[in-house]
Chain A
Amino acid sequence: EAGVVQSPRYKIIEKKQPVAFWCNPISGHNTLYWYRQNLGQGPELLIRYENEEAVDDSQLPKDRFSAERLKGVDSTLKIQPAELGDSAVYLCASSPETDTQYFGPGTRLTVL
């Protein structure tokens, strides 16, 4: 079974530039999550989708972050404009109809 796929794996941008991350969850997993992991810390939830509906986006900084999950499969997380403090690893996870979550490899974002 293929795992959660994310791209790109690494991204370096200058501050104020936009950036987007893509995630393809495990086939058949209806629930998709985006997390941010700062260096030396555990992941923190940004947004959770049930199919195409964002059911928990309370931790998403909506002034600069946006996400979508069209057709309830792949998802894109966007930051515009990026700030220095956004440097982190952005992890995508998916789960079936349980609370067991499977993570992707992440995108390491560096904002200069």
Chain B
Amino acid sequence: GENVEQHPSTLSVQEGDSAVIKCTYSDSASNYFPWYKQELGKRPQLIIDIRSNVGEKKDQRIAVTLNKTAKHFSLHITETQPEDSAVYFCAASRNDYKLSFGAGTTVTVRA
């Protein structure tokens, strides 16, 4: 089955700086890559997703890049704010609706 690895496990950034989280996947047939943000005790919320026919997608301060050849994708958060502090999960699936999640990255934005 699909194996998704996520790095780093924790990330501390100064407010206003950028944060980058990287994920690799094992199944070359995977074609859907969502990112979820989960605040403490709350539900995972979809923040952005990308499909394999696109190399990059941006939504305000959040962007995701996908390298199908290398089988990795990354989340970029620019101009970080304290409310960006949360656990971020990447995931991958191959059109069968079965999302395989990474282990998560705890992002702390220092004021």
Q: Which A residues are closer than 8 A to B by beta carbons?
A: 3-4, 31, 33, 40-45, 48, 56, 91, 95, 99-106
Contact = CB atoms under 8 A, between A and B. Distances in A.
A106 B42 CA distance: 8
A109 B42 CA distance: 14
4 closest A-B pairs by beta carbon, nearest first, are A42-B101, A103-B43, A105-B43, A103-B44
Contacts of A43: 44, 89, 99, 101
Interface residues of B, number: 23
* Chain A contact residues, majority secondary structure: loop
B98 interface: yes
Contact of A42 (B32, B49, B96, B102): B102
Contacts of B43: 3-4, 91, 103-106
B45 A41 contact: no
A101 B102 contact: no
Best-surrounded residue of A44, A99, A101 (most CB of chain B within 10 A): A99
Contact of B46 (A41, A44, A102): A102
Nearest to A43: B101
B95 interface: yes
Contacts of B108: none
A41 B97 contact: no
B103 A40 contact: yes
B36, B43, B91, B104 interface centre (most CB from chain A within 10 Å) = B43
B24 interface: no
Contacts of A56: 96-98
Given A99-B93, A101-B46, A104-B43, A42 B103 contact: yes
